[in-house]
Structure 1
Amino acid sequence: MASQKIYACIDYEDPYVQPLLLNAVKARLPKELLVLVKDASELPSADSKFLQWRQYESLDFDRLMSGSISCLSNSYVIRKALIRKHYLSTTVSHWLTKNPESALKHHVKPGVEIEVDFSEFLDDALIEAFELHESWQRNESKDVADKEWWILKPGMSDRGQGIRLFSSEEELTEIFEEWDPPSDDEEDEDEAAHSGDEDAAPASKPADEDDDEKGIITSQLRHFVAQPYIDPPLLMPQPHPSAGRKFHIRTYVLAAGALKVYVYKPMLALFAAQPYAAPSSTAGAQPDLSAHLTNTCLQTGEREGSVHAFWSLPASLGTSSSSTGGGEADWRESVFEQICSATGEAFEAAARSMSVHFQPLPNAFELFGLDFMVDAAGTAWLMEVNAFPDFAQTGGELQDLVKGLMEDVVDVAIKPFFGVEGGVEEGGENGLVKVRDIDLGKR
């Protein structure tokens, strides 16, 4: 067993996560080796074993980069090939060009990237958006109920900000027009109240304003991705408490070193606030997003019925399709296998085809939150990859899920790095499942 002290700075700045991290570290690392510190200034020497588990902005990256065998951190420095929606779209596109039979072909909707500052320049931005133009042309001859819908996502936003649905060029244009900044006259009126920072939102629409537009201004986001909308989605039948409501699966993924990737088998099912209705049911108006967006941060109150343990969902959905639970098949097992396949492939794609924008380090690990949507045919589609996911959405009743995750991370990513006995390559039967193990040649 390692005899050198392990100095650990555990400061996650989150009242939900912090005690879980502390308890996991204390429970899994030997008491005689663990020394809790507030920052690196308390280390006795430059080569002391040091674990920092903090928010990204608070990490000591200088020490991380200079201490490849002594310092372990809970985040990579560069990983936007995965966590930025437009970068993820490019990552998948590049990987499929070289690997056309990759699993990502069947688990990521192809994206159309749009870069635009103001709505008046949208026409220019869409010149090469052939997929959109072809879809709009097909829609002209279709009934409302049969139209193809697209979902628009800002490349660098989170918490559901700026997501919209559209089925025509006119609808897309109206969306961007809503986000245009105030006119010159309005800016003059607000000039005295403006901070002067060109990256700040105009005073007339603060960035945190809680209105329908969520304070969106196109010129601040600039990068967008449009993807075919998944319709119809898989819905739970009666008598499930969230029957008829759209949901997505939140999957926690551990990337360790350079590079092993694990999927945490206990997952969450996050449900929309309102019963699902096809976008075409509100023809002529923007669909009610509360029925389409499953982000729990957009909901109020106690989120009753919005968060469930994935494996608590019914194994059989009473359908005739084997992919969604008909006969003896368990649709959940099929979906989990798809998630494992797509996750491993996505991380390898980022590491090999977008190495400038995803740089795994041998002395770092990171937890990501991947969101998957399951369609009515039982196919799991990767929607996005989140860094520093919101563990608090798990809630109090399912807190043990996060507790188990943190303990497994200590066993799988932290103990082996510091040479502590009891470290394992994989968690228990219901814990972390290894889905990729590749050597990127980084030491």
Structure 2
Amino acid sequence: MDSLGLVTTGVKINIEKNSNTDRTRLPKVNKKESFLKLKPSSQKPHHSKRQTPLTNPEFILFKEPPNTIILPTNLFEDHLFTTNYIKITNSRITTTSRNLRNSVQLSPKQDPSPDFLHDFTIEGIQSPTHRKVLKKPEILNLPKPELLNINKPRIPLVKKLNKSTPHNESSVKEIMYWNWIGIIKASNGFEIYPHHGQFKYYVGKGNNGSLVNHILKSRFWWTRTDNVEDANFVWTQLKNKQVLDLIPKFESRLEKDLNPVVFDSKIPKAILNENQENFGFKLISESYSYLNLTKGYFLVPETLKSHNRLPNNSCICNKKGMFKNLKAYYDTVGLNIFSKVPLTFHIETGTSDLQFQTFTQQFTEGSTWIIKPGEATNRGKGIKVSSSLDQIKEIINKHQENRTYIIQKYIQNPLLINKRKFDIRCYALITSFANQLQGYFFKDGYLRTSCKEFNIKNTNDKFIHLTNDAIQKNHEDYGKFESGNKLSYYDFQKFLHSNGSNVDFFIDIFPQIVDIVKESIACAKDIINEECKMNAFEVLGYDFMVDSEYKVWLIEINTNPCLELSCSYLSKIIPDMLENSFRIALDPMFPPPEGHKKFKMWVKNSNLTNKYMLVYSSLSAN
């Protein structure tokens, strides 16, 4: 008889193998003992080609999902987790591949706008609702698992398609979805333990929480809960410290993969390459900031929690934090902050503050300044415009506990649209996975216009100076000139052309915005998640102004940006932005169970188009 040494929870049991029946009799194992560690003393490895993590003398199987969140990746074969994402090789394209190139038409609807504007126009595809999905998972190939008398671990793999047969739109979209998930996972160095369950989300009240709920509800593998503690994902307007405390720390150092594996594409490279382009995947995978990382950790999704707020978002999301940290960053790289941000002074102790004394030296008769609360405020609250030094002194001498002030030079020569002031609202997504910070910039944004003509001498009329929707919607002319006082980038470009300007928004203005967003994320690299929480993310709203010389100025960065759909244009881009954000920040960590019967239909009906550009990675910046 052969024998196997079976180690359960601290107890070694000898198992006798009957040579006649070739069966192993196992003693009963208590249900709570969910981990089995097998030492096959006499078995030959199942794979004879090479030694792998699964054919080493020790390996681990799970009867049920582990209770731990992080597992070492060396317990599993690399190829079992790489079929869901694809790297393009330079192998030649066969005749069959060329014929198949036209068999699937997945290109987005062509826009009649000029080529140089095409990438930035809005297609207006509505967010998916109640999507459906199915895929039978393949079995992980283990050495004679029948000897263990337990269920085989199942890995959800993309079904291998025969390249000699035509691929329909649905099958290609399935592959492209898993390709997307793999691109994000590879850039964050993690893998996911296979799962078959449902995840729970909690959505707090306010700021169009119904829209957030609608988008999450469309993911069939998520269900809503009213209990924050039960939720795998919590969305709230403000940081929830209780949730952040439940997210574990991860202090191990991620490493770049200098020899990334090339994976089988499942479909002809021509079709893959074309659809990666059409779906916008290359905005991330071909970014200068994109890195393949070695798999540093292995996540059990049922045990994970995530939050839509980063632990120390105030480092750039309140006015004093943004100024302080941006100045430190620009000083380090040898740039003048006041080439990006209007001249600013942070006043902490009223008129006795040394910074206020410096400000008075810069103040001249007739100059205009804007005074803002230094701490977290939004929707235009507490903001004053003044040209009077006495009035500015009066404002900052109003002592409030834990309250400081920002005095900032007012942009006196703003670019105007039909004599009215405007600013630009953009969105960025910051994700933090295992100490790596990545920043994404959403390509679509909008202009917010004022209701009244610009007049620098009238400093008391907030409808002239503050373009926040919370302010402008209270004016009787709100929506009179533009729907919801909003304009798209493309509408702005048409305005520039109609006024005889040679300025191209997408060449002359847009890149300035992207550079400042990237630099603002870089300045927060070591601060925004200094607690080393393993996984969290945040959508931020950026406000920019453009002066009459077409120079871009950063005004502020907002946590909890407004998600209200105040016009038809916002009804298109805000749901798209949220859908894209969840596809980056949630789906790779909480992927759909591919074996679910609703999977195929969900993928078929989903809009997979990505509009986020990867603009920053803390590892690639090193």
TM-score by length of 2: 0.52
Residue 24 (structure 1) aligned to one of 215, 225, 247: 215
Identify the residue that residue 508 of structure 2 maps to in structure 1: 334
1:296 is aligned to 469
* Deviation readout 1:223-279 (Å, 9 max, x if unpaired): 00111111211112xxxxxx211111111111112311111121121112311112x
Residue 27 of structure 2: aligned partner: none
Q: 1:124 aligns with which of 352, 358, 371?
A: 352
Offset at residue 372 of structure 1 (A): 0.8
Alpha-carbon distance, 1:338 to partner: 1.3
Per-residue CA shift, 1:299-353, capped at 9, x if unaligned?
3168313531432423155589xxx9733x422443221111101111111224x
Task: Provide closer, same or farther for how the CA distance between residues 325 and 227 of structure 1 changes in structure 2, counting only shifts above 3 A.
Answer: farther
> In the aligned structure 2, how far is the partner of 1:82 from the partner of 1:90?
9
Unaligned runs of 5+ in 1: 44-49, 117-121, 141-146, 181-217, 237-242
Mapping for residues 99-138 of structure 1, pairs under 5 Å: 99-101=333-335, 106-116=339-349, 122-125=350-353, 127-129=354-356, 131-136=358-363
Aligned length in residues: 357
| Unaligned residue ranges in structure 2 (runs of 5+) | 1-155, 157-193, 251-298
Q: Which amino acid aligns with 2:389?
A: E
For the residue of structure 2 that corresponds to 1:377, the secondary structure is: coil
Asked if structure 2 preserves the Cα contact closer than 8 Å seen for 1:272 and 1:290, the reply is yes
Q: Is residue 351–residue 359 contact of structure 1 (8 Å, CA) maintained in 2?
A: no
C-alpha change, 1:130 and 1:63, in structure 2 (3 Å) is closer
Tell me if the contact between 1:7 and 1:34 (Cα under 8 Å) persists in the aligned partners.
Answer: yes
- Whether the 8 Å contact between 1:316 and 1:326 is mirrored in structure 2 is no
Instruction: Name the CA shift for 1:174/1:401 in 2 (closer, same or farther; >3 Å).
Output: same
Write out aligned runs for 1:211-250 (5 A): 218-220=399-401, 222-236=403-417, 243-250=418-425
Q: Give 2:437's aligned residue.
A: 259
Per the TM alignment, residue 430 of structure 1 is displaced from its structure 2 partner at its CA by 6.7
8 Å Cα contact 1:10/1:18 also seen in 2: no
2:598 equivalent to 1:406: no
1:343 and 2:517 equivalent? Answer: yes
Alignment-derived partner of residue 309 in structure 2: 75
In structure 1, the residue corresponding to 2:470 is in which secondary structure? helix
Select which of 272, 277, 281 maps to 2:455: 277
Which structure shows the bigger proportion of residues in helix conformation? Answer: 1
Aligned to 1:95: 329
2:489 corresponds to:
311
Within the candidate set 225, 233, 238, 1:51 is matched to 233
- C-alpha distance in 2, partners of 1:312/1:360? 40
2:243 to 44, 53, 61: 61
Residues 293, 41 of structure 1: CA spacing in aligned structure 2 closer, same or farther, 3 A cutoff? closer
Mapped partners of 2:229, 2:390: distance in 1: 58
- 2 CA distance for matches of 1:398 and 1:431? 15
**What amino acid is aligned across from residue 101 of structure 1 in structure 2?**
L
Aligned to 2:440, what secondary structure does the other structure show? Answer: strand
8 Å contact from structure 2 (residues 200, 224) kept in 1: yes
CA distance in 2, matches of 1:22, 1:67: 28
Structure 1 residues 172 and 308, CA, compared in 2 at 3 Å: closer, same or farther? same
Report the equivalent of 2:616. 436
Give CA-to-partner distance per residue, 1:178-219, whole Å, 9 cap, x none. xx4xxxxxxxxxxxxxxxxxxxxxxxxxxxxxxxxxxxxx42
Q: How far apart in 2 are the matches of 1:270 and 1:358?
A: 34
Q: Does the CA-based 8 Å contact 2:249-2:533 persist in structure 1? A: no
Question: Post-superposition shift, 1:387?
Answer: 0.8
2:492 match: secondary structure: coil
One-letter code aligned to 1:152: I
CA distance in 1, matches of 2:357, 2:529: 27
8 Å contact 1:155–1:225 — kept in the other structure?
yes
Aligned to 2:384: 164
Shift of 1:22: 2.9
Given residue 465 of structure 2, which amino acid in structure 1 is its aligned partner? Answer: H
- 1:266 is matched by which residue type in structure 2? D
CA change 1:95–1:58 in 2 (3 A) is closer
Task: Report Cα offsets for 1:34-65 as digits up to 9, x if no partner.
Answer: 3433325557xxxxxx2222333556425632
State how far apart, in whole Å, the 1-side matches of 2:344 and 2:532 are: 25
Distance in 2 between residues matched to 1:24 and 1:39, nearest whole Å: 19
Partner of 1:185: none
Q: Distance in 2 between matches of 1:314 and 1:287?
A: 28
1:128–1:39: structure 2 CA closer, same or farther, 3 Å change rule?
closer
Corresponding residue SS for 1:335: helix
Question: Do the aligned partners of residues 18 and 171 (structure 1) sit closer, same or farther apart at CA in structure 2, a change above 3 Å counting?
Answer: closer
Deviation per CA, 1:114-135: give whole Å up to 9, x if none.
Answer: 113xxxxx4312x344542222
The 1:52/1:314 distance shift into structure 2, 3 A limit, reads closer
Task: Give, in angstroms, the shift of residue 170 of structure 1.
Answer: 2.2
1:292–1:233 distance in 2 versus 1, CA, 3 Å? same
| Distance change (3 Å), C-alpha of 1:130 and 1:40 | closer
1:309–1:26: structure 2 CA closer, same or farther, 3 Å change rule?
farther
SS of alignment partner, residue 493 of structure 2: coil
2:273 counterpart residue number: none
Letter in 1 for 2:547: D
Change in 2 beyond 3 A, CA 1:430/1:11: closer
Contact kept? 2:411, 2:547, Cα under 8 Å: yes
Q: Which residue number in structure 2 is paired with residue 34 of structure 1?
A: 222
Instruction: Please report how far the alpha carbon of residue 81 of structure 1 lies from its aligned counterpart in structure 2 after TM superposition.
Output: 0.8
Q: Determine helix, strand or coil for the equivalent of 2:587.
A: helix
Secondary structure, aligned partner of 1:417: coil
TM-score w.r.t. the length of structure 1 is: 0.71
Question: In the alignment, is the contact (CA less than 8 A) between 1:78 and 1:357 conserved in 2?
Answer: yes
Give, in whole Å, the separation in 1 of the partners of 2:546 and 2:442: 18
Instruction: Report runs of 4+ in structure 1 exceeding 6 Å deviation.
Output: 427-430
Instruction: Give distance in 1, aligned partners of 2:203 and 2:529.
Output: 27
Higher-Rg structure is 2
Label 1:52 to 1:222 Cα distance change in 2 as closer, same or farther (>3 A): closer
Partners of 1:392 and 1:296 in 2: CA distance: 10
* Contact 2:379–2:471, Cα closer than 8 Å, also in 1: yes
Aligned residue for 1:271, secondary structure, equals strand
| Letter matched to residue 123 of structure 1 | T
- Are the equivalent residues in 2 in contact too, given 1:259–1:440 (CA < 8 A)? no
Q: Determine helix, strand or coil for the equivalent of 1:252.
A: strand
Is the Cα–Cα contact under 8 Å of residues 135 and 148 in structure 1 kept in the other structure?
Answer: no
- Residue equivalent to 1:188: none
Counterpart residue identity of residue 359, structure 2: L
Equivalent residues of 1:318, 1:326 under 8 A apart: yes
Q: Distance in 2 between matches of 1:59 and 1:313?
A: 41
Structure 1 CA distance for aligned equivalents of residues 323 and 530 of structure 2: 14
